[in-house]
Structure 1
Amino acid sequence: MLPHKSIKLSDGRHLHVANDEDHLLRLQESHTDPEFNFTVHGSSDHLSALNDSKKYHETLKDALRSRHPDVFEEMEKLQIQMDAISQDLQSLTQRDVHLEANFGKFGYSANLRTHLPGQRKEEDAKSTTIAIWKRPVIRQYFHKGLLWRASEREEVASFELFVDLLYVGILAIIGDRASEEPSAKALLYFCIAMIPSYKLWNDIGLIVSWFETDDLVQRGGILFVLACLFGYTTNIFLLETTTYIQMVAFYLTARFFTALAMVIGGFLIPMVKSTLYGNAVVIAIPSAIWIGSIYVEEPNRQALIWVAIFLDLTLPTVLVWGMRGFPFIPKKWSDTIQKKFEFYPALNIEHKTERMGAFVSLVFGYSVVALLYQNTASFGINGFLGKALLGLVQAYCFNAIYFDIDGAGHELHAIRRKIWSAFLWVNAHLLFVLGFTIGGAGLSKLVLAHETPNTDIHDLYHTYEEKSFEHVEDALRWFYCGGLAVALFSMSLISISHLHKEIHRQKLAKKYRLAYRMLVCIIWLCLPAAGDRLNSLQLISVTVGMTITVVALEVYGTSCTGDSMFGAKKRCPYICDAELQKRDSDGSSMDTAVDPEKAAENPKSEYKLKDVFIPVDV
């Protein structure tokens, strides 16, 4: 129960406002002074007393104006300015509090505004019914340099997690297929199979991030794209011979469906129709080349395939660049283009990074799951287990580099920084996925090699015994070492795309830490040249050891001079903010304002903590 309030009336008396009737009785019993009146909060007497008090203070205000007109006018101006500032602060801390919480992680932006998309009636907002179809609403968009974002936080939908589950199987199939017979040709077809599937995953994330619908039509559309992706995956193994047409057919069906969704969205949301129609054209151009590749035989087909892949990856960025104005074309044309794209959709940075992080986690998860095997020995501490555990340590270190080092301490996130940094961030992730997946696939085969000491082939379950081999091919070494080198290099590109916070007492600058990563990448690329002089266990040990040194250097370099690496040297202070209750002589409680520090000095104090909030002072 809150302490009572006191209001001064025009006749000089004070009005005590109680929270309820019980509180009112206690106040009346404890005060016998006739200069006090009592009433219940919210009653008609309370309202009348407030109006009386308002008139009384307005009279005092008029009297002060007549006695000191100059001072009064100056104070009035100051009060108006303070009220305006208070309103701005209230709008920022109440309406945009969820956005403010994310600014510290992804960088502040003075060009950010919020809007309320799809405002509904109160009874509709309380309903949990999923509509069959709702008119789509754009979540966030750019207009004349300002980013207008939806005021509510964009959560990851459950069906998006379902999409990720499907990709677990896709990564396993594509990676295992490439590592079965490692060669340059296998690597080529691994990239051809992986890049389009990544593009379909990106299309799903783009539609969910742009449009706010969450109806059955949208979910059915995503299910259709997943079905196409499922059919695409079932035709990967023999794409170089008999199943290429089927694979391309499933891929183009999903892409044309996305283009159709863009065209329909342009009709329903005219504000951003130019961008949506432009994206439909961007999908149609490389799709025509994909269709043409069906009628061309190998090896000439490869030229059309890689032109189509290049256009799939670059044309969306060219479209975004055009919407912001090409600097090398005449200003008249540039102004005309920008006028057409006065409004254009934007990505939600929190949703995009969260979805990309989930995809990267899938890649890490695949590399770990691929290491698992079954043991038949009585106690399976052997070379097979050692190599598998080293692979686990390596994946764990890469996870720490991506999320805890490169993914933290952003002054400006790559998407919010510049268009080139956003382009680099997106495509570096694709390069990372390709590199780490092929490296993980190669590692899964190296674990089963039995050319090292303490690796008896009979210790493996017969299924894995059939997959074991004695001689490690050079191509497999290149898959493993080259994949890791590409993955670490792409992670360096991701780090470069971000603008990290600069700490003046930092022990090692970011450029020096990235230079060491480049050195490690070069060494990894040279390791396959050692050939049989490094067996599988030694090769894995070298790469894992160097990965640990990268993490150690990052941890040391990002720390500050003078800071302890073992936590605080003294006990952490606390701040206590408490509401206390005082016990009357009869044992009943009565609310009052008490200083918590004075009450805490005496362990036998008559005050007790009622509600305690203890934040850590760090």
Structure 2
Amino acid sequence: MLPQKSIKLPDGRQLHVAKDDDHLLKLQESHSDPQFSFTVHGSADHITALNDSKKYHLDLKDALRGKHPELFEEMERIQAHMEELSNELHALTQHDVHLEANFGKFGYSANLRTHLPDKWEHEEKEETSTVIRVWKRPVIRQYFHKGLLWRARENEEVASFELFVDLLYVGILAVLGDRASEEPSANAFLRFCIAMIPSYKLWNDIGLLVSWFESDDLVQRGIILFILACLFGFTTNIFLSETVTYTQMIAFYLAARLFTAVTFVCGALLLPMVRATLYGNAIAIVIPAAIWIGSIYVEEPNRQALIWVAIFLDLALPSVLVWGMRGIHFIPKKWSEKLKSLFEFYPALNIEHKAERTGAFVSLVFGYSVVALLYQNAAHFGMNAFLGKALLGLVQAYCFNTIYFDIDGSGHELHAIRRKVWSSFLWVNAHLLFVLAFTIGGSGLSKLVLAHESQDTDVHDLFHTYEERSFAHVEDSLRWFYCGGLAVALFSMSLISISHLHKTLYTQKIAKKYRIAYRVLVCIVWLCLPTAHEHLNSLHLISITTGMTISVVALEIYGTSCKGDDMFGTRKPCAYVCDAEVEKRQEDSDGGSGEPAGADAEKGVDKGDYVLKDVYVDVQ
């Protein structure tokens, strides 16, 4: 028996709608002589029926105008004034904000407005040319003004050159991770951080330029290309144990940073509305740049003091500037009001663009950890502990990806950037900590895969290139790289989760605070694993960390579900149910005399057609 839906027509007849095996709709009527016609929603007949219905109602409108002209004109004027007042009130309160701007997955914001008038939108629609201009005056995409966020009406999509930037970072992550794990030690980790943090800062500068300024001309693309060229030179001069390339590395970094400062100054001259903010960001670049230059002329180990002071200022000064723009409460009120008036307008980040770009960067980190596991097998059938450790590393990276995107990255009531200032700072800085930790952990994992101190790890099973890289003794520093990196990475992901305000589900099986507590407990266990080096070989170490990672994912999946949820889906076979809506359309019986169409129906005269307005096929 085909699933069907019975519909009662206005005259008492029954219409049965069913779906056969050929996905065709069958209509049956209880009477043998059907007196109705139907159209399927979205078809050409449906459009024709709507046009006929429109013409019919226009004829009724004209008939009413001819019968009561004065009353009709008065009603038209009142309706026009009502629509004008409604549009003006809507513009003052919501200003035509797109629903995805307020009610998307990043949470509701009552302080969100759009800043493009309708006439600008019409002018943009008239421009049909897609040529990339050499230069055009930049426009601030979004900005804050007196507590309100004004943003461009159109959605900010990821540009193609931003994806190009991400591809370059794949190589940067590989170079930094490999060099850090070649000779694992405290000095190697220190140099890894010194190289990784500035490169991450340059990536953030590119995202800031793209998110703030809407120009998309050749000048902007040239600015991005110059920063990428400096980043390329920075990567090729990353120093190892020797310090002969430190000067070149810092020179490329400062060239990119100071060039960004010049870009801000030029933008301040072209955009006086946000001039104070752009000047402030330029100063926030110049101050640590002076300390970076001074570090070139200081020998080790005194150089480390200047380096970390410069890194701290690179990371902290933009945050201090934001606090100043929003007003500092612990300074005299006169100065605080002066700062607020100075920064009456200041640019803002697009939350959707920032989250998408950061997610893409995190995906690169996950991708590096997986690519670093690849090796070449020399045996005929390579089912051995080498492959087992590599597959466990793959499962581990996949679990981290699930935690970041599917668990912590969903179910937001308020995103960290939209929630509070402190949550925004925590979200940004926790991502930097995560990138550093997971990259160093992934580099340590790539070396542990090639270790042949455990059972079923014959070094001759490896291709000769990887056979040379294999070793029989796992150093304690490599264990700390791997376990410590994973522990800090999971802890930083916990901080990212805390920064978000997730939706409160009162029937949730395990509250968020308890799930975060279990993550912290797992981090503590991982930090203790390197101390058991006498009892755990590389295979044991990777197996334990992977198993505990799976337990974190399992607890999150179970804990985020609600009581009564079916964890295995529906147990009933699916059924196709068709729903339909039927409308009876009457024709004008007097040839446009103005008599209402329902008059004949009241007299019992049936001159209309039944129109199948809509058909829905649902799976139950």
TM range (shorter): 0.7 to 0.9
Q: 2:370 and 2:502 mapped to 1: Cα distance?
A: 30
Give 2:449's aligned residue. Answer: 447
**Which secondary structure does the structure 1 equivalent of 2:470 belong to?**
coil
- Aligned equivalent of 2:369, options 367, 371, 396: 367
Q: 1:41 and 1:609 mapped to 2: Cα distance?
A: 16
Give 1:542's aligned residue. Answer: 544
Give 2:106's aligned residue. Answer: 106
Which stretch shows the higher mean deviation, 82-91 or 514-523?
Answer: 82-91
- Closer/same/farther in 2, CA of residues 607 and 308 from structure 1, 3 Å limit: same
Give 1:602's aligned residue. Answer: none
Residues 311-322 of structure 1: matches in 2 within 5 Å? 311-322=313-324
Q: 1:148 and 1:53 mapped to 2: Cα distance?
A: 46
How high is the TM-score relative to the length of structure 2?
Answer: 0.82
Matched AA of 2:500: H
Residues 540-579 of structure 1: matches in 2 within 5 Å? 540-570=542-572, 571=574, 576=579
- Aligned equivalent of 2:498, options 496, 499, 512: 496
Give 1:53's aligned residue. Answer: 64
**Which secondary structure does the structure 2 equivalent of 1:182 belong to?**
coil
Give 2:590's aligned residue. Answer: none
- 8 Å contact from structure 1 (residues 132, 215) kept in 2: yes
Q: 1:40 and 1:331 mapped to 2: Cα distance?
A: 66
What is the CA-CA distance between 1:56 and the residue it aligns to? 3.8
What is the CA-CA distance between 1:126 and the residue it aligns to? 1.8
Q: 1:46 and 1:573 mapped to 2: Cα distance?
A: 36
Give 1:470's aligned residue. Answer: 472
- 8 Å contact from structure 1 (residues 579, 612) kept in 2: no
- 8 Å contact from structure 1 (residues 581, 610) kept in 2: no
- 8 Å contact from structure 1 (residues 238, 244) kept in 2: no
- Closer/same/farther in 2, CA of residues 514 and 293 from structure 1, 3 Å limit: same
- 8 Å contact from structure 1 (residues 292, 304) kept in 2: yes
What is the CA-CA distance between 1:54 and the residue it aligns to? 3.3
Which stretch shows the higher mean deviation, 48-57 or 447-456?
Answer: 48-57
What is the CA-CA distance between 1:116 and the residue it aligns to? 1.8
Give 2:116's aligned residue. Answer: 116
- 8 Å contact from structure 2 (residues 510, 560) kept in 1: yes
Q: 2:450 and 2:279 mapped to 1: Cα distance?
A: 51
Residues 493-532 of structure 1: matches in 2 within 5 Å? 493-532=495-534
- Closer/same/farther in 2, CA of residues 533 and 78 from structure 1, 3 Å limit: same
Matched, 1:176 2:178: yes
Give 2:26's aligned residue. Answer: none
What is the CA-CA distance between 1:39 and the residue it aligns to? 10
Q: What per-residue deviation string (whole Å, max 9, x for no partner) do you get for residues 206-244 of structure 1?
A: 000001000011001100000000000000143751000
**Which secondary structure does the structure 2 equivalent of 1:121 belong to?**
helix
Q: 1:513 and 1:267 mapped to 2: Cα distance?
A: 50
Q: What per-residue deviation string (whole Å, max 9, x for no partner) do you get for residues 452-505 of structure 1?
A: 111110000010000000000000000000000000000000001001100010
What is the CA-CA distance between 1:568 and the residue it aligns to? 2.9
Which stretch shows the higher mean deviation, 88-97 or 558-567?
Answer: 88-97
Q: What per-residue deviation string (whole Å, max 9, x for no partner) do you get for residues 339-388 of structure 1?
A: 00000000000000000000000000000000000001000100000000
Q: 1:107 and 1:327 mapped to 2: Cα distance?
A: 27
**Which secondary structure does the structure 1 equivalent of 2:431 belong to?**
helix
Residues 280-295 of structure 1: matches in 2 within 5 Å? 280-295=282-297
Q: 1:504 and 1:82 mapped to 2: Cα distance?
A: 42
Matched AA of 2:225: L
Matched AA of 2:532: A
Residues 421-436 of structure 1: matches in 2 within 5 Å? 421-436=423-438
- Aligned equivalent of 2:244, options 242, 245, 250: 242
Q: What per-residue deviation string (whole Å, max 9, x for no partner) do you get for residues 30-74 of structure 1?
A: xxxxxxxx99988xx9989856633645655799x9xxxxxxxxx
- 8 Å contact from structure 1 (residues 203, 258) kept in 2: yes
What is the CA-CA distance between 1:89 and the residue it aligns to? 7.3
- 8 Å contact from structure 2 (residues 105, 411) kept in 1: yes
- 8 Å contact from structure 2 (residues 365, 438) kept in 1: yes
- 8 Å contact from structure 1 (residues 472, 536) kept in 2: yes
Q: 1:431 and 1:161 mapped to 2: Cα distance?
A: 22
Give 2:127's aligned residue. Answer: 125
- Closer/same/farther in 2, CA of residues 105 and 88 from structure 1, 3 Å limit: farther
Q: 2:98 and 2:527 mapped to 1: Cα distance?
A: 48
Higher normalized contact order (CA 8 Å, seq sep 6+, divided by chain length): 2
Give 2:165's aligned residue. Answer: 163
What is the CA-CA distance between 1:580 and the residue it aligns to? 9.6
Give 1:215's aligned residue. Answer: 217
What is the CA-CA distance between 1:572 and the residue it aligns to? 7.3
**Which secondary structure does the structure 2 equivalent of 1:141 belong to?**
strand
- 8 Å contact from structure 1 (residues 580, 611) kept in 2: no
What is the CA-CA distance between 1:415 and the residue it aligns to? 0.3
- Closer/same/farther in 2, CA of residues 524 and 289 from structure 1, 3 Å limit: same
- Closer/same/farther in 2, CA of residues 526 and 174 from structure 1, 3 Å limit: same
Give identity over the alignment, percent: 71
Q: 2:127 and 2:270 mapped to 1: Cα distance?
A: 22
Q: What per-residue deviation string (whole Å, max 9, x for no partner) do you get for residues 14-35 of structure 1?
A: xxxxxxxxx9xx99xxxxxxxx
Q: What per-residue deviation string (whole Å, max 9, x for no partner) do you get for residues 269-299 of structure 1?
A: 1100100000000001111100010010000
Q: What per-residue deviation string (whole Å, max 9, x for no partner) do you get for residues 79-125 of structure 1?
A: 9889966886799999433534x633111011000122875735763
Give 1:71's aligned residue. Answer: none
Give 2:97's aligned residue. Answer: 96
Matched, 1:147 2:158: no
- Closer/same/farther in 2, CA of residues 491 and 80 from structure 1, 3 Å limit: same
Q: 2:138 and 2:580 mapped to 1: Cα distance?
A: 47
Give 1:589's aligned residue. Answer: none
Q: CA RMSD in A?
A: 3.3
Matched AA of 1:469: F
Q: 2:365 and 2:459 mapped to 1: Cα distance?
A: 29
Matched, 1:333 2:335: yes
How high is the TM-score relative to the length of structure 1?
Answer: 0.82
Q: 1:562 and 1:159 mapped to 2: Cα distance?
A: 47
- Closer/same/farther in 2, CA of residues 130 and 61 from structure 1, 3 Å limit: closer
Q: What per-residue deviation string (whole Å, max 9, x for no partner) do you get for residues 517-545 of structure 1?
A: 00000000000000131010000000000
**Which secondary structure does the structure 1 equivalent of 2:149 belong to?**
strand
**Which secondary structure does the structure 2 equivalent of 1:517 belong to?**
helix
Q: 2:241 and 2:396 mapped to 1: Cα distance?
A: 32
**Which secondary structure does the structure 1 equivalent of 2:135 belong to?**
coil
Q: 2:90 and 2:137 mapped to 1: Cα distance?
A: 34
- Closer/same/farther in 2, CA of residues 50 and 217 from structure 1, 3 Å limit: same
- 8 Å contact from structure 2 (residues 580, 613) kept in 1: no
Give 1:19's aligned residue. Answer: none
- 8 Å contact from structure 1 (residues 293, 304) kept in 2: yes
**Which secondary structure does the structure 1 equivalent of 2:559 belong to?**
helix
Matched AA of 2:255: T
**Which secondary structure does the structure 1 equivalent of 2:487 belong to?**
helix
Q: 2:213 and 2:241 mapped to 1: Cα distance?
A: 34
Give 2:458's aligned residue. Answer: 456
- 8 Å contact from structure 1 (residues 290, 308) kept in 2: yes
Unaligned runs of 5+ in 2: 1-44, 586-608
Q: 1:119 and 1:175 mapped to 2: Cα distance?
A: 47
What is the CA-CA distance between 1:127 and the residue it aligns to? 1.2
Give 1:345's aligned residue. Answer: 347
Which stretch shows the higher mean deviation, 250-259 or 108-117?
Answer: 108-117
- 8 Å contact from structure 1 (residues 239, 247) kept in 2: no
Matched AA of 1:367: S
- Closer/same/farther in 2, CA of residues 451 and 327 from structure 1, 3 Å limit: same
- Closer/same/farther in 2, CA of residues 103 and 608 from structure 1, 3 Å limit: closer
